[in-house]
Amino acid sequence: PPVVEVLSAEKSFANGTRALAPIDLTVRAGEFLTLIGPSGCGKSTLLKLIANLYEPTDGRINWWRGDFRKVGQDGRRLAFVFQDPTLMPWARVATNVRLPLDLERVPKPQATPRVAAALEQVGLGHAARSFPRQLSGGMRMRVSIARALVTEPNLLLMDEPFGALDEFTRNKLDDDLVALSWERKLTTIFVTHSIYEAVFLSTRIVVMAANPGRVFREVVIDEPMPRG
């Protein structure tokens, strides 16, 4: 089934920048969709429209709940992972990961096992009591991914999550992300500048072009790369 539908959505900013010409895009459950294209082609803007962080100037974003509904809070579970992990430095890893559950007022006895499970999923079961400053950049990014997974999102949005990491760390995270998203059939929209990531992580690649931002072509990949 579809998860979200972008219907002729456009975005212009107050300064006149036409960030996105009308875009149509349907994201289906279980897809790993990668957005790739030059800087300024509207990749981040498209993610923010889908996340309801921006209003489209025209067109709409619909969520699937048996039928398509206009975007709203209920029934919509999405998580956003940014390039900067933005962890609370004074709080332990487990507390950082628990944050979205605290915001939803999930009682601690229910939250604790979910936090532990999310940390296991990103290979950080042992680091729950560490502080962010004790972790490497790659580990901090894993914490940020765990904080997204703990909410059990039906859509995971990732805006160049590994762009600031060294190549070795990045390749390792790429591998683990493929395993994770395929195991859990996580529906993901992933923004990257890396053709390697687009080709090796995705089930579908949406190539965008700039001025104005638009979809240039799509590439569907039948199967992800086998691991190992």
List residues near ligand ADP by CB under 6 A.
Answer: 13, 15, 17, 19, 39-45, 160, 213
Q: To the nearest whole angstrom, how small is the minimum distance from the Cβ of residue 78 to ligand ADP?
A: 18
Q: To the nearest whole angstrom, how small is the minimum distance from the Cβ of residue 116 to ligand ADP?
A: 33
Nearer to ligand ADP, 47 or 150 (CB): 47
Distances (CA, A) of 37 to 77, 207, 214: 27, 6, 10
Q: Could you tell me which residues are beta bridge partners of residue 60?
A: 7
3-state secondary structure 126-158: HHCCCCHHHCCHHHHHHHHHHHHHCCCCCEEEE
Q: To the nearest whole angstrom, how small is the minimum distance from the Cβ of residue 32 to ligand ADP?
A: 19
Q: To the nearest whole angstrom, how small is the minimum distance from the Cβ of residue 185 to ligand ADP?
A: 26
Nearer to ligand ADP, 83 or 154 (CB): 83
Nearer to ligand ADP, 47 or 93 (CB): 47
Q: To the nearest whole angstrom, how small is the minimum distance from the Cβ of residue 57 to ligand ADP?
A: 12
Query: How many helical (H) and strand (E) elements, i.e. helices and strands, does the chain have?
Result: 6, 10
Going by their DSSP bridges, the two strands 204-209 and 214-220 should be labelled as: antiparallel
Q: What gap in Å lies between CA 110 and CA 177, rounded to an integer?
A: 26
Nearer to ligand ADP, 12 or 130 (CB): 12
Short-list 64, 46, 65, CA closest to 56: 46
Q: Please, are residues 56 and 9 in contact by the beta-carbon 8 Å criterion?
A: yes
Q: Please, are residues 213 and 204 in contact by the beta-carbon 8 Å criterion?
A: no
Q: What gap in Å lies between CA 175 and CA 123, rounded to an integer?
A: 12
Q: Could you tell me which residues are beta bridge partners of residue 208?
A: 215
Nearer to ligand ADP, 17 or 26 (CB): 17
Q: To the nearest whole angstrom, how small is the minimum distance from the Cβ of residue 192 to ligand ADP?
A: 10
Nearer to ligand ADP, 106 or 207 (CB): 207
